[in-house]
Amino acid sequence: MTSNPDPNSAQETPHSEASDEDQAIPDLQEFARKIEELWEYFQIYLRARWNRNKAAWRDGLIHLGLGLIMALLATAALFTAVVFVFYGGALAIGERLGHPWAGYLVTGGGFLLFTGLGARWMISSLRKQSLKKKLREYEQTIRQENEKFGTNIVERAAAANRN
């Protein structure tokens, strides 16, 4: 244990520690104030981002609603035009045949006939496209098997049937 020969230096040390503590408290208070200020700025930033996102969603929903209304109006206008064409055609055919009901029958039946034929043609073409796609996938699988194993399932099945 060493003793300090200068009695004033021993007293200086506690005095300087106390002044450091006194200085640390305002520094901590200033730090806490700055953290609080940063937190407030962060909350303002988050609120601004939230409000921006809400506005973007609201604008998107408004545009979606207006688009749907416009689509409905366009569909209604097109439907009305088609009805007028069929009605006029039915009247003209009915006048030509001498019976108004015959014109309605011919146009209605013709519409149903062409709609049915069109639907059948679309279903047929979709089936053909689907079949072609599946064939391409199977051919790709066979090529990959040939590259990877040197043989494929078709060759193995043919060999198994020969035995």
Please spell the DSSP secondary structure of the chain, one letter per residue.
-PPPS-HHHHHHHHHHHHHHHHHHHHHHHHHHHHHHHHHHHHHHHHHHHHHHHHHHHHHHHHHHHHHHHHHHHHHHHHHHHHHHHHHHHHHHHHHHHT-HHHHHHHHHHHHHHHHHHHHHHHHHHHHHHHHHHHHHHHHHHHHHHHHHHSS-HHHHHHHHHH-
Output the tens digit of pLDDT for each of the chain's 163 residues.
455 555 554 444 555 555 666 677 788 889 999 999 999 999 999 999 999 999 999 999 999 999 999 999 999 999 999 999 999 999 999 999 999 899 999 999 999 999 999 999 999 999 999 999 999 999 999 999 889 888 888 888 888 888 7
Give this prediction's pTM.
Answer: 0.47
Q: What is the number of other CB atoms lying within 10 angstroms of the CB of residue 108?
A: 12
